[in-house]
Amino acid sequence: MRHTVLAACFSATLSVLALPSAADAQQRFPSSAGELVVETVASGLEHPWGLAFLPDGRMLVTERPGRLRLVSAAGEVSRPIAGVPNVVARGQGGLLDVAPDPQFAQSRLIYLSFAEPRANGSGTSIARGRLNAGGTALEGMSVIFRQMPTINSNMHFGSRLVFDRTGALFVTVGDRFSQRDQAQNPGNHLGKVLRISPEGKAAAGNPKKEGWQPEIWSIGHRNVQGAALHPETGQLWTAEHGARGGDEVNTPKAGLNYGWPAITYGIDYSGAKIGEGTSKPGMEQPLFYWDPSIAPAGATFYTGQIWPAWKNSLFVGALAGQMLIRLSTQGETVTGEEKLLTTLRERIRDVRQGPDGYLYLLSDDANGKILRVRPAR
């Protein structure tokens, strides 16, 4: 990684600085709200996956091989934070999302989702620990939830973490690719949106349906890697990978079935048909879908004052599509799509709104970056 040792005046926890080159420090792109500038905040991150802001404006960033770092607003990147659980860093597996507790200022709790190594395979797990005062270690780290059953696969782990307004934690988990039919089986955690308490138990208010595992919120999902709460309604919105075509935006509601793999707007990678068509009684339609696929990843709603015309727009990063997509919304309707940064040529893994009202992106690369999107001055 391209790191420069910081001078002694910096904190010991912020001991390395990834300096962008002059060529990639700033780029300009058109948009419906005027010209955008994309600038590199930090680089040298190995396949960064999840980004979260702390109350003091610093960023927590996961790297898929199994590292968690603190990054200052100026782009100073810490040494790896100690206490992160062991991960399976193969295929799509590794250290995935990160979410501070809603009461982080008091609790200092941090939640992580990750591909956990287990006997005879792996699975998506959720762990939490307390970030120490120096920001150098997670203390008391423990696994609070495990997706079951364990599967021998390195694919489709999900996984995004979103706290709802009650303090419960939404967890998206994939169908593990080889087990896609299990997304229709509510007796396990494969291909589901889950909702758990901060301690990892089934959250109060979950659907209580016969044959359903108590942590399940909704079923029939393939591999959700983008999730965010609507800023006005508090409803969860998700961005979900399809196969060839059929990437979806959904608003998962308690006890409902979102169709995968019985219904889909995509086809198999081989070109074969999947399921029974695009609709079926008792199964929900997506609010929006992409064909061809863009491989949607992180998602966030815009609530800032910088771009007032974009209020309540859902921004979604695209991996295969290598762009940022803005979906304008009205209630639970997608009213338009704008493709942004189409010549950036970066796989955008996560999207977050910063405390400054700008958008922050993670580029999924061996030399991954934190990118800031702001208006041109």
Q: Which residue numbers are catalytic? A: 156
CA 127 from chain center: how many Å? 16
Residue 38, classed as helix, strand or coil, is strand
Rg of the chain over Cα atoms, rounded to whole angstroms, equals 20
**Measured between alpha carbons, how far is residue 98 from residues 75, 331, 355 in Å?**
18, 28, 17
How far, in Å, CA of 148 to CA of 291, rounded? 31
How far, in Å, CA of 330 to CA of 320, rounded? 27
How far, in Å, CA of 49 to CA of 98, rounded? 9
The owner of tokens 């599509």 is: 321
Establish how many alpha carbons lie within 13 A of residue 128's alpha carbon, considering only the half-sphere containing its beta carbon.
Answer: 18
Please name the residues in contact with 52: beta carbons below 8 A apart, sequence gap of 6 or more. 59, 60, 98, 99, 100, 352
In which element (H, E) is residue 177 found? none
Q: DSSP label at 184?
A: G
Question: Given the DSSP bridges, would you call strands 296-301 and 288-290 parallel, antiparallel or unpaired?
Answer: unpaired
| Secondary structure, 3-state, 78-118 | CCCCECCCCCCCCCCCCEEEEEECCCHHHHCEEEEEEEEEE
